[in-house]
Structure 1
Amino acid sequence: MKLNRVVDHLGVDIYAKCEFTNPGGSIKDRMALTMIEEAEKRGELKPGGTIVDQSTGNTGPALAFVGAVKGYDVRLFLPAQLSSSYDPTDRIRIARLYGCTVTPIDLNEHVEGADQLQGIERAATFVAIRMKQCYDLQRSDPLHWWANQLCNVDNTRAHREGTGREILAQMDGRIDGWVASVGTGGTLLGVAQTLKEAHPGLRVTGVVPTDDPRIEWVRSRAVHKALASFGVPELRFLIEDLLDGNVMDDEVTVGNAEAKAMADRLCREEGLYCGMSSGANVCAAIEMARTMEKGSRIVTVVVDRRDRYAAEYPNEHYVV
């Protein structure tokens, strides 16, 4: 969909791929379906099996949705301690409606001195302890399969072979820029791989929330150290593939207020009932447009619906 009112007078066309129209309500449907079907092909996920992962975002409902359709139980781990500014209640409710079991993990029960952890170390430890729960279940019971969205290369495959090819076809091959939130790395990397193969000069911008240390806890290897301390073998994160491949030309930080303001405008001026990540993506696309030649064409993605943030209204939080 070509954006009109929010990008007026830029002289650059910005297109939004409307992934919030997927049956499960977000772009994560693609990743969930591909990861599950590839695991089935390899015999890793068997009939009667249980899908496990850690998530506080849209991956949880997506896994629950696809799992329900295919007849699998789904179990999600999330932190018992959440940021005061972030409330994933709506995503948790959606996952539970699909029959998903949601298990909060209290960091204080698993890590001595957890209250003393700060910044990147705390964030990395939070995600690592939830990943450990998934690892332990998969190791102890062959009917449990860990989707492992942060490291699963089929996450990237979903967008390299699906989303990216669709964008090329829908844009008639004419595209100069690609913008998406970094998140797990799967969407940004997978689409970029396909688009850059067709257009080596394509500009790529990765978008991150101001208070999301995800890239830094991978860059610093804080999450690797935390996983090792919990006895989880070395893992390679998709963000490492993104960084090592020099895929991003720019890394843009967008704050909550900016993302929310643009999401509001997209609802009211473009008729797109979208959430905060989508607002952030469009903010970054506009920033890219200001540096591009007139007539350039940029694609970004509208990743989910606004109702995923209803519990936080009117102070919705940009997370990926």
Structure 2
Amino acid sequence: MTAPDRRTVASPPADSLLALVGGTPLVRLGRSAPGAEVHAKLEYLNPGGSVKDRAALAMVLDAEESGALPPGGTIVEGTSGNTGLGLAQVAAARGYRSLFVLPDKTAVEKLDALRAYGAEIVLTPSALPREHPDHVIAYATRLAKEIDGGWLADQYGNPANPDAHRRSTGPEIWEATGGRITHLVATIGTGGTITGTGEYLREVSGGRVEIVGADPVTSAYGGGDGSPFAIEAAGQYNHPETVDVSFPPVYRPEILDRIVTIGDRESILTARALARTEGLLVGGSSGTAAAAALRVAREAGPEAVVVAILPDSGRAYLSKYHSDTWVRRQGFLDDDRHGTLVDLVSPVVTVPAGTSVGSARSALKSSGQPALPVVLAGRSSPLPPAAGEVLGLLTASDLRGPAEAAVPVPTVPPVGIGSGETAAEVLARMDPSVDVVHLVRDARLAGLVTVGALRAREHSVRL
């Protein structure tokens, strides 16, 4: 088979890298959606690697014009990574200092890329209520005020964010499909991408294009409880202690016709499958969008023309979604090898932080468990606690204090093991002083396992 003859005319040299932002192509997902017309808009082909390049450039240019960002000033933002990368790229190209506050669970590839652009980084705990002074947005807002010449990009409230997509992303999709698009599918992070793109497509089509949000199952946008999810750069997490649970100002939910919720497992496995079946190396939020688009196409029928915006590249997540080790430890991949721990998955009795020692002792005794997980207080969900909300494991010896005292919460969170791991892999990396660990499936609490059970499992597998 020979390569297709493209015979394209080379573009003239760009005056700046920033002139190359936008203009990303559509590609049909032929092998993933045979018989359906599903196209992916490859936003990872922006020079900074994500859809956020568009908003980042638009916000900086707007701030320059208004005078909010002075010459030689400092661009500050709270970000999960992609907006920071877009802003760091603009800062480098236009001579600004840049400083970003990120959650401590941000993929290491994003952190390294930000440092490569010369950005300064501040990491803050990811599981904080919005009102906490060290929450990503609150921290960044404070720094921007303290720094001479500091300017907060404020992607969640800056109208230049959705306007960038109203002026570029929407028209590009309309032109590329010859006006044939019937459904737009995009994830909701700040809400800027789907709001701006959706507004344009709804207006130009006379309301014919259906605007569909793709959202993690537990995200508040789609009606979830706001508990943690494994997908970066999409969804809205609400800490149980968060008071203000409103949506970002740039997000206009009335633009959407509906929201399709996608579980973390489906998002991650879809992202991994796109690399193997389409040659598209994309991130987890792209997996969410693609999974939703494939579902929409199946429901809409063969006449539909579905376009999914794929926000970013899998190169930013090689240590996470595209790492076999990571997905097994999080329990997203547990059926491809002999001897995994998936059969040990079982319901677990937990107690919230703040429970009395007396109540915890009774719960541990009646449960018959080797330990009692202490979880973040205030969450009411039909799902098991997220792995990140497991604060510690308490044994009977930990509960010998006064009955009325609050249960002790370890200062160091426990290390969980994944249902996709084998006993040998777990034992090889475990601290020898640990007697019991918690099992994780789909990044949620799914069982308790003693070291003795793991050793017995390893022995039986060897036999």
TM-score, normalised by the number of residues in structure 1:
0.81
Cα displacement (A) at 1:130: 2.7
User: How far apart, CA to CA, are the structure 1 residues paired with 2:248 and 2:241?
Assistant: 11
Q: 2:292 aligns with which of 284, 296, 301?
A: 284
Q: CA RMSD in A?
A: 2.9
Q: 1:237 aligns with which of 241, 246, 249?
A: 249
**What's 1:64 paired with?**
88
Q: 1:265 aligns with which of 256, 273, 291?
A: 273
**What's 2:209 paired with?**
202
User: How far apart, CA to CA, are the structure 2 residues paired with 1:192 and 1:127?
Assistant: 34
**What's 2:39 paired with?**
15
User: How far apart, CA to CA, are the structure 1 residues paired with 2:124 and 2:239?
Assistant: 22
User: How far apart, CA to CA, are the structure 1 residues paired with 2:86 and 2:113?
Assistant: 9
Q: How does 1:54-203 map to 2 (within 5 A)?
A: 54-80=78-104, 82=105, 87-106=106-125, 122-125=128-131, 129-141=135-147, 143-199=149-205, 200-203=207-210
Cα–Cα, structure 1 residues 158 and 295, in superposed 2: closer, same or farther, change >3 Å? same
Q: What SS is found at the alignment partner of 1:76?
A: strand
Q: For each residue in 1:89-109, what CA deviation from the matched residue of structure 2 results, as whole angstroms up to 9, or x when unmatched?
A: 1111101110110012358xx
Structure 1: which 5+ runs fail to align?
A: 108-117, 228-233
Cα displacement (A) at 1:298: 0.9
Q: What SS is found at the alignment partner of 2:38?
A: strand
Cα–Cα, structure 1 residues 47 and 224, in superposed 2: closer, same or farther, change >3 Å? farther
Cα displacement (A) at 1:173: 1.3
User: How far apart, CA to CA, are the structure 1 residues paired with 2:40 and 2:133?
Assistant: 31
Does the alignment pair 1:4 with 2:30? yes
**What's 1:309 paired with?**
317
User: How far apart, CA to CA, are the structure 1 residues paired with 2:133 and 2:162?
Assistant: 20
User: How far apart, CA to CA, are the structure 1 residues paired with 2:247 and 2:143?
Assistant: 17
Q: For each residue in 1:257-300, what CA deviation from the matched residue of structure 2 results, as whole angstroms up to 9, or x when unmatched?
A: 21122112211111112121111111101111122143111111
User: How far apart, CA to CA, are the structure 2 residues paired with 1:250 and 1:276?
Assistant: 21
Q: 1:36 aligns with which of 60, 84, 95?
A: 60
Q: What SS is found at the alignment partner of 2:300?
A: coil
User: How far apart, CA to CA, are the structure 2 residues paired with 1:126 and 1:268?
Assistant: 42
Cα displacement (A) at 1:214: 6.0
Kept in 2: contact 1:224–1:235 (CA 8 A): no
Q: What residue identity is the alignment partner of 1:210?
A: V
Kept in 1: contact 2:222–2:260 (CA 8 A): no
Q: For each residue in 1:229-269, what CA deviation from the matched residue of structure 2 results, as whole angstroms up to 9, or x when unmatched?
A: xxxxx996223xx22xx111221221222112211221111
Q: 1:52 aligns with which of 64, 76, 98?
A: 76
Counting matched residue pairs gives: 288
User: How far apart, CA to CA, are the structure 2 residues paired with 1:99 and 1:40?
Assistant: 21
**What's 1:113 paired with?**
none
Q: What residue identity is the alignment partner of 1:162?
A: S
Cα displacement (A) at 1:226: 5.4
Cα–Cα, structure 1 residues 88 and 34, in superposed 2: closer, same or farther, change >3 Å? same
Q: What residue identity is the alignment partner of 1:60?
A: G
User: How far apart, CA to CA, are the structure 1 residues paired with 2:31 and 2:305?
Assistant: 16
Cα displacement (A) at 1:123: 4.6
User: How far apart, CA to CA, are the structure 1 residues paired with 2:221 and 2:301?
Assistant: 32
